[in-house]
Structure 1
């Protein structure tokens, strides 16, 4: 119940993306900023449309995500989610009543504050309440509900398609619907026991654990474990404040490695190009030659696939692993985007052009939904110790939202300058770059407790990267290319032994294990 109610707020984000997707076909004309060559300002209008689409992500990256730390400290996880829900309830309705593109942009900027708060807090809330054995599958509910919101948004676009000039207002305004159950239900959920213990409210924390675990014994075990962590962490953060916690993300070796991992998976989510489709699929299909109804139907198919193929990730997240999902899906996203771009070179009269473009976009959506879609928020929510979790998550989410705003802002002029073929091939190349960064700098975190994650991020970055190149890659070639079944992979970590990892000399005890 806790995971579903908290994560359903993600549907607001997905619905808003696709609401603006359909609205892109009509609101620019009403506000006089269409990309029509008959308009004397058509060259700058693409930037204006991009700015309206990117506005929520600009506000999230620059303000919303950075309010997560103080708001969580003052009102808790549930309070922060409630405030975010109110913002995401009011602003879509407000966007439906705007009278200029400037007003629409302003309302969407306010919406972005709520999106930043919600996106940074819900995965933390879910991760802290979930047992480590199923944490990945439960935390990825955030992405599954985002995908569901994308699907519902495309459905709403189709439902109001024939209304006429009011259609885009209903497409944008309908995004308030998923915020209703979030606002009404969040205080029915137990507050995060870890946050309550951080505030010295141990009796309430134990009551929360009793609701979240199968027996009082399990509740007591987990509570004692968190207590030991807090005792050690309190020694390191007596003088901690907002600024010092931010600085320590980059100066403390254990935190710096977690920050790097969170940064890489989040920036990869935008480099893969998913929001080209989420923001502009209707425009992309229009450029391919579809009419308005066909554009919305094709986008609806994309939304359906995005949701359906997010479901298998629930079952493989904690078995196949986060890192393995990323490394196996990024090459496939790269070739599908490359194929999509090349399909735009097919002559317009050829009947195969439109189906081929749609086919490769759909295959791209399938690979994204299983891999890069759910993994980033799971990784970012679990790699930071409790002392820096809000700050680290805020930084990670601001990274993906900043690059989402860059994508939303630059796609219209990029598509015009580079043509669809060049633009899609550009993002195919970024997929390759993201694959390389993940291979070198993102460790596996599946089914690891916070204690074990402390050991994982105790390994210096250079040692981790060297292991991937010198040990893991040769083993992979021998085992799966040369089919040598006797090939053995020496482990990088010895999690069965306390002190089994040769830690960095500068390593600090910000997330020291309960074994202390």
Structure 2
């Protein structure tokens, strides 16, 4: 299906004098300006453009509403001075700021449905955690050094079995990284966001049932590969779907529900592992198969959700996009405002990106400067989620607690505690992700994860005969999860879903999720062997060092995105990477040392980004930090 919007948008040319007084180069925004594309247009010209838009998109019956919406979008902070707005419309626009969580039921239903999809993801991850204690023996691949309880008969296949268990656990992530994620681009193109989620849900429903009845490890491996197709396409689509439907002021808080409910799914998986602990030889089958439960409401519920307005606009279906926005916003005026504002920004995107197919879109992730910066930032936050070590707990916590001297039951109970902490401490991010911001949450939590992992590793030196041995190990693992959940937990999927332009959103998210799940596969494969060779203390120390490395990468390469519309982020990611790095090293870091180390309360930080007064939300949220010198060397451009 041709991208109707892209074909028409690239054919349209708006004269430079008819745009704002000063254009911003969206491939090299060296002045770091965040600009409203409607700012600077005269009222008569703007209304004339809206009339042409209404005729072109067959929305003439909505032209008066679209005109009012365009005037509000042009100068959102001055809506009270706009003529023609009713008292109810003014009240709704004010309430949007003062009561930002007051949103339509349909919007919350959509977010809840996306949350169920996330719970499926988490439950799928932890089914194998408890099953690791019994399925290897059931298939004749014990991963202990001895074949008897007396530890007198060596296991000749010990090394091979360690790798085999890791590969079986990693199967969904291998399939996700190499197939499932990349299917999301064509699936979204053909079937839309809702259709892709339905496709993914089917692959998260049937394969888990198949894994429960597998008779050989090869059959188990294949069913888990099929599960990965659903996991990859779902994880690449649901955060995008949520991000495109949610208003900018609360986008982080609602889109981060992906991770919060993934954590809830992990917790439910641990609950299921514990619930079927005493079912004998079929315990591991029930632990793997129980993940079908949340997939059922996902298959059914997606039918009742509206399609993404931005996807409909991409396809040139503006009337349908308006109807969808009317279901997702409190008033038709707000729907009309968002429709026209997004349209204006998409025209700007089309000017710099144009039309492309699947292959060229992937190549352009690394060749178009604005897109390349988003690619780098999403790569960093997704890679950091694996570098921090959270999934060595999600995949192997039962094994770790068993190595710490716990019985099977004790290990499952401790894993249950880990899952509970991981879920409960995800809640603060609902409020902090749009106030403190994505970047600040990461910069605060990564040092905490590093020292808690290191402390947990050293606790293995406590004599195993001491009651403190297992208790202290569990304590620091729980503390590690408490720091992870409001920081690196919710940020990667929220961040990656919002940083790419609409033209590259599907393939960009596929890249990000493939990065995350691909490295999750590497972690799953290598960790059993790492435990055997490096001991738990060495493995924990290794991941503590990776936390520090990830902190440096985030500091240098990850810009802030809070409270900006998806289209305004084009300007954020137009700032050259070297300019962003130079600012962090020469401005932000010295400020941090002066203010928080030397306690100099008069220390000030120059902002990097200049917010145009007409940008949506500019007067609502504090101008997010960061501005550097206006002079930039040629190599920075």
Query: Residues 372-414 of structure 1, C-alpha deviation per residue, up to 9 Å, x if partnerless?
Result: 0000001101111101000111000100001000000000001
TM-score by length of 2: 0.78
Moved over 4 A (4+): 235-239, 497-508
In 2, Cα distance between equivalents of 1:424 and 1:484: 36
Match of 1:4 among 100, 112, 120: 112
State which of 367, 376, 379 in structure 1 corresponds to 2:483. 367
1:75-111 Cα deviation digits (max 9, x unpaired): 0000000000011011110000101111111110010
Residue 269 of structure 1: how far off its partner (Å): 0.2
Residue 303 of structure 1 corresponds to which residue in structure 2? 419
Whole-Å separation in 1 of the counterparts to 2:464 and 2:124: 32
Aligned: 1:160 with 2:276: yes
Q: 1:489 corresponds to which residue?
A: 605
CA distance in 2, matches of 1:36, 1:296: 19
- 2:135 equivalent to 1:19: no
What is the CA–CA distance in structure 1 between the aligned matches of 2:262 and 2:354, rounded to whole Å?
Answer: 38
**CA distance in 2: counterparts of 1:506 and 1:117, whole angstroms:** 38
Deviation at 1:33, TM superposition (A): 1.0
Partner residue of 1:233 out of 322, 345, 349: 349
Matched, 1:268 2:384: yes
> Which protein has the larger Cα radius of gyration, Structure 1 or Structure 2?
2
2:318 is aligned to 202
Instruction: Judge conservation of contact 1:95–1:104 (CA < 8 Å) in 2.
Output: yes
1:327-346 alignment runs, 5 A limit:
327-346=443-462
Q: Which residue of 2 aligns with 1:252?
A: 368
Structure 2 match to 1:513:
none
Instruction: State the SS of the aligned residue for 2:610.
Output: coil
Note if contact 1:250-1:259 (Cα within 8 Å) is conserved in structure 2. Answer: yes
The yes-or-no answer on 1:445 pairing with 2:561 is: yes
> Are 2:394 and 1:278 equivalent residues in the alignment?
yes
Deviations 1:45-96 (CA, angstroms, capped at 9, x unpaired): 0100000110000000001111111110000000000000011011110000
2:39 maps to none
Change in 2 beyond 3 A, CA 1:240/1:507: farther
Matched residue pairs, number?
A: 508
User: Residues 218-274 of structure 1, C-alpha deviation per residue, up to 9 Å, x if partnerless?
Assistant: 000000012223333344555411111111110111111110000000000000000
Name 2:518's counterpart in structure 1: 402
CA contact 1:64–1:114 (8 Å) conserved in 2? yes
**SS of match in other structure, 1:231:** helix
C-alpha displacement at 1:350, in angstroms?
Answer: 2.0
1:27-58 deviations in whole A, cap 9, x for unaligned? Answer: 00011111122232111101000001100000
- Are residue 122 (structure 1) and residue 238 (structure 2) matched? yes
Q: Which residue number corresponds to residue 300 of structure 2?
A: 184
Name the residue aligned to 1:47: 163
How far does residue 448 in structure 1 lie from its aligned partner after superposition?
1.1
Name the CA shift for 1:172/1:504 in 2 (closer, same or farther; >3 Å): farther
Runs of 5+ unmatched residues, structure 1: 509-516
Cα shift readout 1:459-479 (whole Å, capped 9, x = no counterpart) = 111111111111011111111
Distance 1:205 1:451 in 2: 16
- d(CA) in 2 for partners of 1:442 and 1:88? 32
Query: Secondary structure, in 3 states, of the residue corresponding to 1:6?
Result: helix
Unmatched tracts of structure 2, length 5 or more? 1-108, 148-154, 616-626
2:611 aligned counterpart, secondary structure: coil
TM-score (norm 1): 0.96
Partners of 1:320 and 1:231 in 2: how far apart? 31
Once the two structures are superposed, residues 419-469 of structure 1 have per-residue CA deviations (whole angstroms, 9 ceiling, x without a partner) of: 111011000000000000000000111101234312211111111111111
Alpha-carbon spacing, 1:423–1:70, altered in 2? closer, same or farther (3 Å) = same
In 2, the alpha carbon distance for the partners of 1:498 and 1:151 equals 44
**Contact 1:60–1:398, Cα closer than 8 Å, also in 2:** yes
Equivalent position of 2:334 in the other structure: 218
Instruction: Note the aligned Cα RMSD (angstroms).
Output: 1.7
Does residue 32 (structure 1) correspond to residue 148 (structure 2)? The answer is no
